[in-house]
Amino acid sequence: MPTRHVLLAVGVAVLWGLNFLAIHASLEQFPPLLLAGLRFLVIAVPTVLFVPRPDVELRWLVGYGLGFGTLQFLGLYLGMAAGFPTGLASLVLQSSAPFTVILGMVLLGERLSARRAAGVLVAVLGLALVGVSRATTAEWWPFALVVLGGFGWALGNLASRQARAPRPLHLTLWMSVVPPLPMFALSWWLEGPERIGRAFATSLTVEAVPAWLGLAYTVVLGTVVGSGIWVWLMSRHPAGMVAPFSMLVPVTGMLAAWLALDETPSPLELAGGVLVVGGVLWASLPGPRRTPPAGSPSAHGADRGVWRRLDRLVLAGGMKKLAAVALTAALTLGATACSEAQEAADQASDAASKASDAASKAGDQASDAADQARQAARDVNWDKYPRELRDRVQKMADKADCKGLNGVLDNLDPGKDGAAITWVRAQLKQAGCA
């Protein structure tokens, strides 16, 4: 990642870490369920008016809103309002990571590698340490509420993943349409109209200014700016390169709570925090790559990467050699040796130029294949086929599963499924199988 992108990722983590201080300030004025409803209502109104609805199935949009928007913030806000420390809340909410891995395995049939399993176990052990520490010094149920919020975040992650939104930021914004109604209904039922009315009646005083500033920070910086930058980074870099920066959120949250609220975690809570952050990082970072079989598409990609690295090494070594030759020539052979050095430099430059042209040509071919696949997809009458077929073929293409794609072709009827066959062949070409 370029330095400016690294700084953006760190900046988002800091914004999200400070978000817990903003929530704490807002909870000083508003009841938790009412505050959560207001947070999403402020985002939902301009979203409905100005942002196009994402092209995803309604069930995944609603599921994302109920999990990520409703259940997560219901648990987080109730837990913090019940006295759970602000800094620790930023840490315990990271329970979403092991929950996402476990739910993905149980509900979606995803494979759990030994590396990810070890990371999940370490993170769960860290959460257990934090829970034990809280149970010995305070009530346990605020901790359980924040863990429930992490579980809701994980459910939202699964719904977002299944939605496969072409524009993820639009999905994030439209998700905010779902939580206000259940949040306001629960607020009216549990917090009562009297408490709600009292909160609004005193909300225009000077004492309520920090609460409004906290709400504005949560909406503008925490949600719109933070999520917008994060989605932009995720669209330009591998998820495994961007996601680990989120582990700076609890670090920022706990440090900010210590400085602003004088919250000091116990040694057991600090030990649990280290285990949670370390376990999540270990589970999210990619493991060692296996060398792909010779002749496979991934092997060709690996070969290109190796040759690019070798090319850089050769050029770097060549420059040192040319410098030594030039110095020797100046002392001994003079103009003749200098001429030879210049010739070597020209050859190295020509080699680099050819390598660059080859890489550009390969990129153009990959782009053409992707365009052909998209055009072929538009030509298919998808009403004739179950959605599972499209999803299955897309997964095969993403994994370069040539055998599976050819198996799909064998089961299609050339007389009836011509457009679909063209699309599958385009996926084969894009995956490097044809």
Neighbouring CB atoms inside 10 A of 267's CB total 8
Among 172, 272, 183, 178, CA closest to 222: 172
pLDDT score of 120 = 82
pLDDT score of 306 = 40
Average pLDDT over residues 223-236: 82
Share of the chain above pLDDT 90, in %: 32
Highest mean pLDDT among 205-219, 260-274, 305-319, 347-361: 205-219
Among 88, 69, 68, CA closest to 24: 88
pLDDT score of 123 = 82
Domain span at 41: 3-284
Which residue has better confidence, 135 or 222? Answer: 222
pLDDT score of 298 = 45
Q: Are 75 and 145 in contact (CB under 8 A)?
A: yes
Q: Please check the confidence at residue 322 and state whether its pLDDT lies above 90.
A: no
Tell me the pLDDT band of 128, cut-offs 50, 70 and 90.
Answer: confident
Single out the residue in 260, 284, 308 at which a domain terminates.
Answer: 284
Among 18, 4, 43, CA closest to 254: 18
Q: 């690294």: which residue's tokens?
A: 6
Distance CA 152, CA 75 (A): 8
Q: Is 43 domain-assigned?
A: yes
356's CB contacts (< 8 A; 6+ apart) are none
Q: For the segment 144-173, what is each residue's pLDDT rounded down to a tens digit?
A: 999 999 999 889 888 888 888 888 889 889
Same domain, 253 and 327: no
Q: Please check the confidence at residue 112 and state whether its pLDDT lies above 60.
A: yes
In this predicted structure, which of 44-48, 255-259, 333-337 has the lowest mean pLDDT? 333-337
Same domain, 243 and 352: no
Q: Are 116 and 66 in contact (CB under 8 A)?
A: no
Which residue has better confidence, 363 or 361? Answer: 361
Same domain, 369 and 239: no
SS (H, E, C) the chain: CCHHHHHHHHHHHHHHHHHHHHHHHHHCCCCHHHHHHHHHHHHHHHHHHHCCCCCCCHHHHHHHHHHHHHHHHHHHHHHHHCCCCHHHHHHHHHHHHHHHHHHHHHHHCCCCCHHHHHHHHHHHHHHHHHHHHHHHHCCCHHHHHHHHHHHHHHHHHHHHHHHCCCCHHHHHHHHHHCCHHHHHHHHHHHHHHHHHHHHHHCCCCHHHHHHHHHHHHHHHHHHHHHHHHHHHHHCCCCHHHHHHHHHHHHHHHHHHHHHHHCCCCCHHHHHHHHHHHHHHHHHHCCCCCCCCCCCCHHHHHHHHHHHHHHHHHHHHHHHHHHHHHHHHHHHHHCHHHHHHHHHHHHHHHHHHHHHHHHHHHHHHHHHHHHHHHHHHHHHCCHHHCCHHHHHHHHHHHHCCCHHHHHHHHHCCCCCCCHHHHHHHHHHHHHCCCC
pLDDT score of 23 = 96
Q: Are 352 and 311 in contact (CB under 8 A)?
A: yes
Which residue has better confidence, 61 or 379? Answer: 61
pLDDT score of 357 = 64
Q: 């992707």: which residue's tokens?
A: 370
Tell me the pLDDT band of 312, cut-offs 50, 70 and 90.
Answer: very low
Q: Is 313 domain-assigned?
A: no
Same domain, 335 and 215: no
The average confidence (pLDDT) of the chain is 78
pLDDT score of 118 = 87
Average pLDDT over residues 65-92: 93
In this predicted structure, which of 81-85, 289-293, 361-365 has the lowest mean pLDDT? 289-293
Question: How much is the CA Rg of the chain, to the nearest whole Å?
Answer: 27
Same domain, 260 and 355: no
Q: 362 vs 297, 305, 366, CA distance in Å?
A: 13, 13, 6
Same domain, 260 and 156: yes
Distance CA 251, CA 13 (A): 9
Same domain, 258 and 323: no
Q: Please check the confidence at residue 58 and state whether its pLDDT lies above 70.
A: yes
In this predicted structure, which of 77-81, 111-115, 295-299 has the lowest mean pLDDT? 295-299
Highest mean pLDDT among 9-18, 185-194, 299-308, 366-375: 185-194
Q: Is 375 domain-assigned?
A: yes
Q: Is 293 domain-assigned?
A: no
Q: Please check the confidence at residue 286 and state whether its pLDDT lies above 90.
A: no
Neighbouring CB atoms inside 10 A of 161's CB total 15
422's CB contacts (< 8 A; 6+ apart) are 376, 379
Q: Please check the confidence at residue 363 and state whether its pLDDT lies above 90.
A: no
Same domain, 71 and 214: yes
Domain count, the chain: 2
Q: Is 134 domain-assigned?
A: yes
Q: 């009646």: which residue's tokens?
A: 201
pLDDT score of 308 = 45
Q: For the segment 326-361, what is each residue's pLDDT rounded down to a tens digit?
A: 334 333 433 443 344 355 445 645 655 665 566 566
Q: At what angle do helices 32-50 and 72-81 cross, to 10 degrees?
A: 150
Same domain, 110 and 186: yes
Q: 238 vs 71, 170, 234, 286, CA distance in Å?
A: 28, 20, 7, 10
pLDDT score of 319 = 38
Same domain, 147 and 212: yes
Average pLDDT over residues 82-86: 92
Single out the residue in 284, 305, 328 at which a domain terminates.
Answer: 284
pTM of the model: 0.64
Q: Please check the confidence at residue 72 and state whether its pLDDT lies above 50.
A: yes
Q: What is the identity of the amino acid at 181?
A: L
Same domain, 332 and 212: no
Q: Is 310 domain-assigned?
A: no
Q: What is the identity of the amino acid at 156?
A: G
Same domain, 333 and 228: no
Q: Please check the confidence at residue 236 and state whether its pLDDT lies above 80.
A: no
Q: Is 295 domain-assigned?
A: no
Q: For the segment 376-423, what is each residue's pLDDT rounded down to a tens digit?
A: 555 555 556 666 677 777 777 676 677 776 777 677 767 666 777 776
Q: Is 309 domain-assigned?
A: no
pLDDT score of 177 = 96
